[in-house]
Chain A
Amino acid sequence: MALLNTLVLAILATGFLIVSRRSLDAIIRLYALQNVLLALVSFGLAGGEFHFVLAGLALFAVKGVLIPWYLFWLIDRLEVSHEVEGYLSVSLSLLLAGLLTALAFRVGKAFVLPEAPLPQGVPVALALVLLGILSMVSRKKAISQVLGFLALENGVFLMALSESHGLPLFVELGVALDAFAAVFLAGILIFRIKGEMGHVDTARMRSLRG
């Protein structure tokens, strides 16, 4: 149990670092690390059941390797700066992240169900969801919004692990497939946005109103 606690705290730490870092490369690596940690948590909860291990491995392959690889490939091909431009300074982002995490821990207790296998994971999962939303709304580059969405999605995954040992295998795989398809599609769109408008700054996309 002590090991699981450490892992959960490490996941929370990666969530914080993702919000505060300013380099896309670092954020993608942190995201990959977050998935490694999540896979370890799911192995830890498996209790020797083989299909859990299988699910963890499949998810690790999709979200820990395939998606980060695709994102690295994407930012190389895009030829834009690898720096994240945000509306908020690093210190302000961290302050907000701290407040959101505190909120998640305050509210999270009410979310813990009586038979949850990993009760301490629930508030962390909620915090990851909120931090994901924070980085989606506070950053300008299209690709950092995708990363925010992925971090949010990991929060949802941790929620599933903490409350109920994870969803059934085929649902979990469907969800991972959806996530990959969404990221793939977003990648294509980002290419087109770059080609069409010469930038990947979603703050400058505001021709549609009312």
Chain B
Amino acid sequence: MVLYLLVLLPLVVFLARKEASLLVRLSVLVPLLSFLLAPFLLGTAAGPFRLDGVGLFYLLLTNLIYALVALFARGYFAREEAWRFYWAGALFLASAHGAYLAHNLGMLWVFVEGSTLASALLVYHKGGARPLEATWKYLMLGSVGIAMGLIGVILVYALVGGATLDWGEVRSLVGEADPEGLKVAFALLLVGFGTKVGLFPLQAWLPDAHAEAPGPASALLSGTLLNVAFYALLRYAAIMQAAGLFAFASSLLLTFGLLTLLFAALFLFGQKEYKRLLAYSSMEHMGLAVFALGLGLPWLALFHTLAHSLAKTLAFLGASGILSLTHAKEVGRVGGLVFHLPALGIPYVLALAALGSLPPFPLFLAEFKAVEAAMRWPGLAGLYLLGLGMAFAGLLSPMAQMGFGRGKPLRGQGLDLWILWLLLGILVILGVFPGVEVFKGLEVVLWRK
């Protein structure tokens, strides 16, 4: 019962109607309330909903990021109407809650598709030719992709005898299912949820949507939305493992993870707009997380998505600050941020460094562990390192130009820049104290129970 209320909780924001200050307050309070409430609901179940460790992990992460982004958005939208952002955001937060609480594969699909629709509204915001085009592309490609995923869900349902779609029950029944059918189903599910994760070659919508959305919305898309689809992949990978077909799933995940990494790294080069750069970097890191899952290390995939979400939210909030202060989209027209506006420049440049996986940031550890595990197949590890090197080089020159190149002095009025420093602090703490045991504990929930 409380779980149903938790899913509906984000909709409370609509009570504020269009009144700006109340909208902000509710949009920050709601995720905080959910953040505090959720741990007490661990293990409870109601209808198709149940909260387990992995769901709780992503729910807490989403709520944390959402609260910070909603707070930052107050300064960002100070001179324009913000209700569109908060309304679409509330719908998105509700569908993310639904997805993480759903213990039923059918409901999981319904809420993942719901999050696509809500986030299309976030991209669209107030329109204009480019956002409209990006939203249209996102809606069409996302819907077709996810429809393929639904065929996969139906096949899984039929393969377990049409008995249940409960994740736990499917996992115990799937051992007797026809393995060839399951392989087809998993391939379809990978296409479906992979489209939303941004796997090559299904990523066409991602850079457009992330670049054209207003800054705080981009942060939500990269920091929280991509995880929703990745979470669905995690659940299905666990089902494949329970069916004894992980080798098959693994080869698909490794291949598409690696292809996504290499393709995204290629596109990071010569990218002139910094928000598109960040969008391709999201693709790169989701590819890396899928690769980690393919290595048979779900804990590493969880850790990677956590580190990426924090670093990318920081980077996109920084980028949206830069855009609102300079009105310049291109890397070449922004420079010297570290000197002219250190309160914004320093966390932004460090966010790029974190995304480039420099120590002491947590993505360094994540990638190091992945290389270590991939060493069993030297060719694979080699390609992985090549992709990492290319991606790092692609981030390096924009980082140098924007941080230290020539540019005009700036005044950071009206933006809550302390949020960037807070995120930076969390990142450094996570880098120094990665708490690997916690993630391994979550892996047990997902994998072996």
Contacts and interface: CB of A to CB of B under 8 A. Distances in A.
Contacts of A111: 155, 184
A136 to B, nearest CB: 7
Interface string B142-155: 01100100110111
Given A156-B147, A167-B154, A207-B130, A145 B140 contact: yes
A162 to B, nearest CB: 9
Nearest to B162: A164
Interface stretch (B68-76, B109-117, B420-428): B109-117
B173 interface: no
A99 interface: no
A149 B143 contact: yes
Given A171-B165, A205-B136, A164 B117 contact: no
Contacts of B151: 129, 156, 159
A109 interface: no
Interface stretch (B12-20, B121-129, B246-254): B121-129
A116 B106 contact: no
B94 to A, nearest CB: 13
Nearest to A163: B158
Nearest to A205: B133
Given A111-B184, A171-B106, A208-B137, A178 B165 contact: no
B155 A163 contact: yes
Given A167-B165, A210-B267, A178 B114 contact: yes
B116 to A, nearest CB: 8
Nearest to A192: B127
Interface stretch (A6-14, A35-43, A179-187): A179-187
Interface string B392-406: 000000000000000
B106 A167 contact: yes
B181 A113 contact: yes
Contact of A152 (B147, B154, B159): B147
A189 B136 CA distance: 7
Contacts of A170: 48, 106-107
A182 B162 contact: no
B350 interface: no
Contacts of B140: 136, 145, 149
B208 interface: yes
A16 B373 CA distance: 51
A193 B139 CA distance: 14
Nearest to B180: A110
Given A115-B161, A174-B107, A186 B155 contact: no
A136 B144 contact: yes
B178 interface: yes
A98 interface: no
A47 interface: no
B132 interface: yes
A113 B129 contact: no
Nearest to A125: B151
A75 interface: no
Interface in B203-260: 207-208, 212
26 contacts: A110-B184, A113-B159, A113-B178, A113-B181, A115-B158, A129-B147, A152-B147, A160-B154, A160-B157, A163-B155, A165-B162, A167-B157, A170-B107, A171-B104, A175-B109, A182-B117, A182-B139, A185-B120, A185-B139, A189-B139, A193-B132, A193-B136, A196-B127, A205-B136, A208-B133, A208-B134
Interface of B: 48, 104, 106-107, 109-110, 113-114, 117, 120-121, 124, 127-130, 132-137, 139-140, 143-144, 147, 150-151, 153-155, 157-159, 161-162, 165, 178, 181, 184, 207-208, 212, 267, 271, 276
Interface of A: 110-111, 113-116, 129, 133, 136, 142, 145, 149, 152-153, 156, 159-160, 163-165, 167-168, 170-171, 174-175, 177-178, 181-182, 185-186, 189, 192-193, 196-197, 202, 205-208, 210
